[in-house]
Amino acid sequence: MDLSSIDPISLIASLMIAATPILLAGLGELVVEKSGVLNLGVEGMMIIGAIAGFAMAVETENPYLGMLAAMGAGAVLALLFGILTQYLLSNQVATGLALTLFGLGLAALLGHSYTGLKPPAVAKLDIAFLTDIPVLGRILFNHDAVVYFSIFMVVALWWFLNRSRAGLVLRAVGESHDAAHSLGYNVVMIRMGAIMFGGAMAGLGGAYFSLIRVPQWTEGMTAGAGWIALALVVFASWKPGRLLIGAYLFGGISVLEINLQIAGAGISPAYLKMTPYLVTIIVLVIMSSDRRRASLNAPASLGRSFHASH
């Protein structure tokens, strides 16, 4: 095994790219769960975003229109989930699982004619005086706009949830929907807004797979990223900052696994592919080992249906 072939600077820069789709989907799901809703359909919304974004980008030759289409597709699928769970009061767990299966099947059908095509390239932001900085320039300032958008959203959501009135209302709905309703807040509409935001973010995460990280369409290309995003939300104790750390940890292990294969590590590729998932879960479980504190961070009404007559 030739470890000298692994460039540490490229490794760190690559982990930011690998982490971005999971971070985007995780941030969306964090907002959904803060409102008291559990949506297990993240994987389905991501794969729909992947094919919708890819198809729009190929047809229009504009990757940014593709990303907008992906966000719209994810939001529409989330809207379906919201109608079923918030208005028809279907079981959130069963509906979320059905949403994932539906998304995977629909994406495979829609993507059949796009297999083998290449999308238009997404340019990296090139700020001369920043990208020219030794080491840090290559690591931090040589990425596409979506990477920086995901980091911006971490800060924006922290501020929204902890400093804004709207964020406090959202958290109140997630803690006690009955109390929020008694104060005059429209619980269902607030949750619907959170659900659609989560769908849009998951859709964008899916489009990042098909347009930037792996610029092509392949059936099932999200490969469980939606489930990782769901796990990161819980293990990060519903905190955006911890979610960033968890996503970057997973991204780093994923990129290291690929580099070890290239370097000729004498380990079965199957074990290497399993490593990112295993290490991420172990470390995040350790991070959230204080069960009492983790339970305090969990929204009290998470997964519970609301009806105004209750």
Alpha helices in 222-268 (DSSP H): 225-235, 240-262
Please check whether residue 221 is in contact with residue 204, taking contact to mean a CB–CB distance below 8 angstroms: no
Tens digit of pLDDT for each residue in 254-305? 887 776 766 666 666 666 667 667 766 776 666 566 666 556 578 988 989 8
The predicted structure's pLDDT at residue 310 = 47
| pLDDT tens column, 18-70 | 999 999 999 999 999 999 999 999 999 999 999 999 999 999 999 999 999 99
Residue at 244 is within a domain: no
Q: Is 165 exposed, middle or buried (0-12, 13-18, 19+ CB in 10 A)?
A: exposed
Q: Break the chain down into helix, strand, coil percent, rounded to 5.
A: 75, 0, 25
14 lies in some domain: no
Task: Decide: 225 and 209 in contact? Cβ < 8 Å.
Answer: yes
Structural domain includes residue 228? no
Q: Does residue 191 lie within any of the structural domains?
A: yes
Domain of residue 150, residue span: 3-9+20-111+122-223
- Among 270, 250, 274, smallest CA distance to 23 is for 250
Q: How many CA atoms lie within 13 A of 164 on its CB side?
A: 10
The pLDDT of 123-145, averaged and rounded, is 81
User: In whole angstroms, what is the distance from residue 96 CA to residue 103 CA?
Assistant: 10
Domain count, the chain: 1
Dihedral (CA of 140, 141, 143, 147) sign: positive
Contacts of 102 (CB under 8 A, 6+ apart): 44, 77
Contact 276, 223 (CB under 8 A): no
Q: Mean pLDDT, to the nearest integer, of 183-207?
A: 97
Stronger pLDDT, 116 or 282, i.e. the higher one: 116
Least confident of 66-70, 119-123, 134-138, 237-241: 134-138
Other CB atoms within a 10 A radius of the CB of residue 94 amount to 12
pLDDT of residue 294: 57
For position 148, what pLDDT does the model report? 94
State the pLDDT at residue 60: 96
Q: Which of these, 20, 205, 215, lies nearest to 120 by C-alpha position?
A: 215
Q: How sure is the predictor about 307, in pLDDT bands with cuts at 50, 70 and 90?
A: confident
Give the whole-angstrom CA distance, residue 243 versus residue 235.
8
- Does residue 24 form part of some domain? yes
Task: Give the model's confidence band at 120: pLDDT under 50 very low, under 70 low, under 90 confident, else very high.
Answer: very high
Residue 253 included in any domain: no
**DSSP calls for 42-76:** HHHHHHHHHHHHHHHHHHHT-HHHHHHHHHHHHHH
Instruction: Tell me if 306 is assigned to some domain.
Output: no
Give the range among 26-35, 99-108, 126-135, 219-228 with minimum mean pLDDT: 126-135
d(CA 207, CA 50): 4
281 located within any domain: no
Whole-number average pLDDT of the chain:
88
